[in-house]
Structure 1
Amino acid sequence: MRADRLLSLMMTLQTRGRTTAADLAKELEVSKRTIYRDIDALSASGVPVYADGGPGGGYALLDSYRTTLTGLNENEIRALFMLTIPGPLADLGVNQQLKAAFLKLTSSLPNQYQEQAHAIRQRLHLDAAAWFRKEEPVPHLQTVQEAVWQDLQLSFSYRRGDGTVNQRLVSPYGLVAKAGIWYLVAETERGMRVYRVSRVETAVLTQTHFIRPATFELAAFWEKWVSEYEVGLPKYPVTVSVGPELIPKLPHILGASTRALLAETQPDANGWKTIDHTFERQEEARAFIMGMGTAIKIVAPDSLRVSIAKLASEIAAHYAD
């Protein structure tokens, strides 16, 4: 552990130049006293580290000292440093290792490339989290991950969408993070299944090894599964007439595809446009349309119009008392 810290300390000094003990302690998450001991250890091992006292002082390496990294051109360096450490990798507990790897890489680059790497990080940030969605707790992700790494069968209790909890025994083939949500791809007695890891309520790593098929490709399976899942989603088509005050706002609510649909539709004499949209369920369509108030009208189906009229009457009666 200390060897890794000493290497990180050396790389930090090489990347940043003169740095105070306080800043080094904060970066490496240790005490200043530990930094002092580590500086002495580096010096004793032949690393040319020295201290500057007074204002603006700190620890630094001799300018002539540098590890080297070759074989990367300017475009490759730019592409590499566009990477960040997204939330899913932090969930897996490898964020510190990734930080250390990037630090080693950065410190090995010539000065002009180090400056370019810093400039890239200041100009591009990747945030994979979805809007208005709280992060799902995944308390058993580490156990699931270990089962995947070790090719060990996993026993877990799983809460279904309807709230029921069942016990499962699976052969876990892989983990997938999509839109900030973790999924487990596993083989069961009934074939391949996908489980949402946040719904795993208990998880026990067995000592039973399974044989992973040599032909299994996680990315190919996931792409096929997602495609089939999207096709299999329930569909509830609705035709609505949209008022002029809602038209410019609707693409921000229903998505960019609605913008093109509205652009292709001619308004009536009062500026209203009639379009089709597909919801998953009647309840979803009803909640959306009622939320838009009088800025939208149902054209079809009649059952949705009747349902909304009935609910509106019940709400009016409720607040009339």
Structure 2
Amino acid sequence: MSKADNMLSILWMLRSGRRVTALQLAEKLEVHVRTIYRCIDALCASGVPIVAESGPNGGYYIIGEFFESPLFFDSDEQKGLIHASTFAQEAGYPHSDALTRAMDKLKRYTNDEQLEQLERHGEGLSVIYPKMEDKHRTFLQTLEESTGEGRTLEMAYDRGKGEASPPRRFDPYGIVYWKGNWYTIGYCGYREEIRSFRVDRIHWLRATESRFDRPMGFSAKNFLLGQLLPHPDQAAALETVRIRGHEQVLNELCRHWLFGHARVERQPEEAVFQLERSMIETYVPYFLMPYGTTLTIDSKLLVEKLVEASSKLTTHYQTMLSNLK
């Protein structure tokens, strides 16, 4: 183990409150006793109040007040860390290996009762996310590291439907996890503007020797949401839509990102939204179809588009049915 690991291990063993000799510590950690002396000296120099007492019952111990230090986590904090690691790893967190090692250390330096509680709570939480391919997890790690280091990348990207675009220089300003996908936001040298890219559409990434400075106060999250939600200048292109239905159905509808941000009024069995007309003409009708006849919609434009979309689906499946006879 590294010196830092040895020092942390010593701290956790001294946390029991019992006096422990240097020889006992050395045997436990399988290191030379001189390594223990050096680690104890380093801990004392960093401000840890370790006391050494000689004699038959002597040894090292820590003054009680130090147990309240933020270095040690109580049971709720430990549970929170275990659950947070579950979410992060299932979402494709780029440093999952390091996170696993950190959680192993947390479990290693707990007593039997704490370990049993951690295992019980850890097994009680499950998260289902789309599985990320190994190469995209590697890309995500490269993007995160380049974001922190301010290193420019060269990137080949699939624009969708198999259309590959020319390789581009890319300054990653941040990464965002949203709706089951990872996005990277930064300056695109090909378009010469700040853009967002889905990580699962990246073909390859290469680090360069160039550096960049992220704009002061830039928020990758706000930029991504700004692309998805209507801008105030587009108010003229908004349609007011009033939807009535059972309260639970409307609750489910309002949890969707588009309707949730577009909601301007809400009653138990009625909700009012301001939606972009372009979205109503393309996306919204198909999203509302699974709700069937549970909704009453007060918007001529949206109802017309629902009828149009329903007719297309009916024609499509009638043709399919006739071919199956």
TM-score w.r.t. structure 1 length?
0.57
Equivalent position of 1:261 in the other structure: 266
CA contact (8 A) 1:241 1:297 kept: yes
SS at match of 1:169: strand
Equivalent position of 1:212 in the other structure: 213
AA at the equivalent of 2:94: D
Counterpart CA distance in 1 for 2:213 and 2:123 is: 36
Following superposition, the deviation at residue 74 of structure 1 comes to 12
Counterpart CA distance in 1 for 2:124 and 2:58 is: 34
Deviations 1:7-58 (A, max 9, x none): 6766776789xxxxxxxxxxxxxxxxxxxx98572475587xxxxxxxxxxx
Q: Determine which of 92, 98, 102 is the counterpart of 2:102.
A: 98
AA at the equivalent of 1:221: S
Task: Summarize the alignment of residues 244-259 of structure 1 with structure 2, pairs less than 5 Å apart.
Answer: 247-251=246-250, 253-255=252-254
Equivalent position of 2:30 in the other structure: 41
CA contact (8 A) 2:238 2:274 kept: no
CA contact (8 A) 2:184 2:199 kept: yes
AA at the equivalent of 1:292: Y
AA at the equivalent of 1:95: L
AA at the equivalent of 1:203: L
Task: Summarize the alignment of residues 17-166 of structure 1 with structure 2, pairs less than 5 Å apart.
Answer: 39=28, 41-42=30-31, 69=66, 72=69, 80-81=77-78, 82-83=80-81, 84-85=84-85, 86-87=88-89, 90-92=93-95, 93-96=97-100, 98-99=102-103, 102=106, 133-137=129-133, 138=136, 139-166=138-165
Following superposition, the deviation at residue 169 of structure 1 comes to 0.7
CA contact (8 A) 1:156 1:202 kept: yes
Following superposition, the deviation at residue 203 of structure 1 comes to 0.9
Counterpart CA distance in 1 for 2:116 and 2:59 is: 22
Equivalent position of 2:170 in the other structure: 170
CA contact (8 A) 2:238 2:275 kept: yes
Higher share of residues assigned helix? 2
Following superposition, the deviation at residue 222 of structure 1 comes to 2.5
Deviations 1:258-288 (A, max 9, x none): 8x835154xxxxxxxx966848454533334
AA at the equivalent of 1:72: S
Following superposition, the deviation at residue 157 of structure 1 comes to 0.5
Equivalent position of 2:308 in the other structure: 306
AA at the equivalent of 1:94: A
Equivalent position of 2:202 in the other structure: 200
More relative contact order, 1 or 2 (CA 8 Å, 6+ apart): 1
AA at the equivalent of 2:268: A
In structure 2, stretches of 5+ residues that fail to align are 17-25, 37-56, 232-236
SS at match of 1:250: helix
Equivalent position of 2:283 in the other structure: 284
Cα separation, partners in 2 of 1:314 and 1:144, compared to 1, 3 Å: closer
Deviations 1:111-159 (A, max 9, x none): 9xx9789868967999796x6x413332422333343344322111012
Cα separation, partners in 2 of 1:197 and 1:314, compared to 1, 3 Å: closer
Counterpart CA distance in 1 for 2:180 and 2:288 is: 29
Cα separation, partners in 2 of 1:143 and 1:250, compared to 1, 3 Å: same
Equivalent position of 2:39 in the other structure: none
Higher alpha-carbon deviation: 4-13 or 186-195: 4-13
CA contact (8 A) 2:146 2:152 kept: yes
In structure 1, stretches of 5+ residues that fail to align are 17-36, 48-61, 266-273
TM-score w.r.t. structure 2 length?
0.57
SS at match of 2:206: strand
SS at match of 1:311: helix
Counterpart CA distance in 2 for 1:184 and 1:128 is: 26
The percentage of aligned residue pairs carrying the same residue is 15
SS at match of 1:291: helix
Q: CA RMSD in A?
A: 5.1
Please say if 1:188 is aligned against 2:191.
no
AA at the equivalent of 2:132: E
AA at the equivalent of 1:144: L
Cα separation, partners in 2 of 1:306 and 1:100, compared to 1, 3 Å: closer
Cα separation, partners in 2 of 1:315 and 1:159, compared to 1, 3 Å: same
AA at the equivalent of 2:141: Q
Number of residue equivalences = 263
AA at the equivalent of 2:69: L
Higher alpha-carbon deviation: 231-240 or 299-308: 231-240
Equivalent position of 1:31 in the other structure: none
Counterpart CA distance in 2 for 1:255 and 1:175 is: 26
Counterpart CA distance in 1 for 2:70 and 2:8 is: 24
